[in-house]
Amino acid sequence: MKGVIYLEDGTVFYGTGFGKEGSEIGEIVFNTSMTGYQEILTDPSYAGQIVNMTYPLIGNYGVNDFVNQSKCVYAKGFVVKNIDKNPSNYTSKIDIDKMLKNMGVVGVFGVDTRSITKKIRSYGTMKCIIANGNFEVEELKNMMEASLIVDDYVKTVSTKEIVHIAGSGHKVAIMDFGMKNDIIENLKARNCDITIFPYDTDYKKVLNINPDGIFLSNGPGDPKSIPEAIENVKNLIGKRPMFGICLGHQIIALAVGGNTYKLKYGHRGGNHGIYDIERDKAYITAQNHGYAVEEESVLKKDMLITHKNLNDDTVEGMKHKKLPLFSVQFHPEGAPGPTDTTYLFDKFIKLMDEEANVSVKSEKHLENVF
């Protein structure tokens, strides 16, 4: 079946279609990961996007049933140089073509993904149509001109109801903006008692469970598209220790009165270098975002920069000068990518421990007074 990639500027790439037949419109982005295509496809942060993989061979180890980061694929399409329909790995259940068919995702292979990546790097991310079937260029052009992309992705990917996962440790309230499963696994590994809330849950309902800490998850799109979440986070800051990742990091910046901005082509892949200022150490991290925190805007709001990007010097982490509040732009849980920065989950646990000790000391002091 014919595969076509039609970019907003009129550029056309021809290849072979796979996955679902049909067409989809989204924002085309590129990912530099060499492995982890299954985790990338099931990451809710890719909602509304057409993912162009820079690594030339995709599907060689197949698809299994245990690394998915969500229940479905939220990406609009998948573009690769070559696919392997005969995977070789003992965990493989199906091939990448069947996965995309099952998930209803349009794919195109056999195109010059390097050329697509260079165009995105030169001109920035842009609207794109990916088509698998008998579509003419003029037809795709008309579809592009008639299309309107609305950034309501967080509303789509967030949990629709409150979910509780029992644990024997700290009680953690998660604001779900499009969370990956491996974040939950990292908190479970630290025995946390987890309650997951929809993205727009009123802050009073979150505090009603009396959590020891509040976690803000990753998610898709522009953080400014969910002002209700920003307002709720504003009311939660300082009430409990708070840790934000990716979109959660950007929401914290907006909640304290800072600003965010759209990057030219974003950071997506499992090989992004960052510098941890406090540890004086560099790490390779997994990233997936199209927006960043404006440094000067948060410095004016009692925030300290803790991590910087080694490629473009953008803000990769911050903490409050006085309050138990910190966040990072990258993904310490990897999935796919390095897990060298999972120490940040331990930092969150330590912060909750310290706050719990302060509360105990305060109670004992009141007992002595009265």
215 lies in the same domain as 307: yes
141 lies in the same domain as 179: no
Examine residue 7 and state whether it is found in any structural domain, yes or no. Answer: yes
166 lies in the same domain as 298: yes
137 lies in the same domain as 183: no
Q: Is pLDDT at 363 greater than 50 in this prediction?
A: no
Confidence of residue 70 (pLDDT cuts 50, 70, 90): very high
Q: Is pLDDT at 364 greater than 80 in this prediction?
A: no
Confidence of residue 148 (pLDDT cuts 50, 70, 90): confident
245 lies in the same domain as 167: yes
User: Which tens digit of pLDDT belongs to each residue from 253-281?
Assistant: 999 999 999 999 999 999 999 999 999 99
Closest CA to 282 of 305, 244, 308, 303: 308
Dist. CA 68–CA 34, nearest whole Å: 17
Dist. CA 115–CA 16, nearest whole Å: 16
pLDDT value of residue 370: 33
Examine residue 366 and state whether it is found in any structural domain, yes or no. Answer: no
Q: Is pLDDT at 365 greater than 50 in this prediction?
A: no
Catalytic residue, from 170, 249, 307, 331: name it: 331
Q: Is pLDDT at 138 greater than 60 in this prediction?
A: yes
Please, what is the average pLDDT of the chain? Answer: 95
Domain boundary among 121, 149, 177: 149
Examine residue 369 and state whether it is found in any structural domain, yes or no. Answer: no
CATH label of the domain that carries residue 29: 3.50.30.20
192 lies in the same domain as 339: yes
> Binding site: residue ranges?
45, 219, 221, 247, 250, 288, 290-291
Share of the chain above pLDDT 90, in %: 94
245 lies in the same domain as 273: yes
216's tokens: 């803000």
Model-wide pTM > 0.85:
yes
Domain count of the fold of the chain = 2
Q: Is pLDDT at 360 greater than 80 in this prediction?
A: no
Catalytic residue, from 246, 267, 272, 316: name it: 246
* Helix count and strand count (H, E) for the chain: 11, 19
Separation of first and last alpha carbons in the chain: 80
45 lies in the same domain as 77: yes
pLDDT value of residue 367: 44
Closest CA to 237 of 217, 223, 218, 216: 216
User: Which tens digit of pLDDT belongs to each residue from 10-59?
Assistant: 999 999 999 999 999 999 999 999 999 999 999 999 999 999 999 999 99
Q: Which domain holds residue 81?
A: 2-149
Closest CA to 222 of 285, 173, 149, 275: 149
Confidence of residue 71 (pLDDT cuts 50, 70, 90): very high
174's tokens: 């998660």
Examine residue 293 and state whether it is found in any structural domain, yes or no. Answer: yes
| 129 Cβ contact partners less than 8 Å away, ≥ 6 residues apart | 4, 5, 6, 23, 24, 25, 140, 143, 144, 147
DSSP at 39: H
Residue type present at position 92: S
Q: Is pLDDT at 282 greater than 60 in this prediction?
A: yes
333 is catalytic: yes
142 lies in the same domain as 164: no
Examine residue 365 and state whether it is found in any structural domain, yes or no. Answer: no
Q: Strand 171-176 vs strand 193-198: parallel, antiparallel, or unpaired?
A: parallel
Report cis status (omega within 30 of 0) of the bond before 336.
yes
Is residue 96 helix, strand or coil?
helix
User: Which tens digit of pLDDT belongs to each residue from 84-118?
Assistant: 999 999 999 999 999 999 999 999 999 999 999 99
**Which residues lie across from 289 on neighbouring strands?**
267
User: Which tens digit of pLDDT belongs to each residue from 115-135?
Assistant: 999 999 999 999 999 999 999
Residue 267 backbone zone (phi > 0: left; psi -120 to 50: alpha; other: beta): beta
Examine residue 49 and state whether it is found in any structural domain, yes or no. Answer: yes
111 lies in the same domain as 184: no
Examine residue 282 and state whether it is found in any structural domain, yes or no. Answer: yes
Q: Is pLDDT at 333 greater than 70 in this prediction?
A: yes
CATH label of the domain that carries residue 229: 3.40.50.880
310 lies in the same domain as 334: yes
Dist. CA 242–CA 236, nearest whole Å: 8
Examine residue 364 and state whether it is found in any structural domain, yes or no. Answer: no
Domain boundary among 114, 149, 184: 149
331 is catalytic: yes
| 221 Cβ contact partners less than 8 Å away, ≥ 6 residues apart | 47, 48, 151, 153, 154, 247, 290
pLDDT value of residue 89: 96
User: Which tens digit of pLDDT belongs to each residue from 180-208?
Assistant: 999 999 999 999 999 999 999 999 999 99
pLDDT value of residue 359: 55
The H or E element that residue 351 is part of is helix 343-369
Domain boundary among 149, 174, 207: 149
> Binding site for L-glutamine: residue ranges?
45, 219, 221, 247, 250, 288, 290-291
212 lies in the same domain as 347: yes
pLDDT value of residue 368: 45
Q: Is pLDDT at 232 greater than 90 in this prediction?
A: yes
Dist. CA 320–CA 242, nearest whole Å: 10
More confident call, 147 vs 157: 157
User: Which tens digit of pLDDT belongs to each residue from 284-317?
Assistant: 999 999 999 999 999 999 999 999 999 999 999 9
Other beta carbons within 10 angstroms of residue 94's beta carbon come to: 14
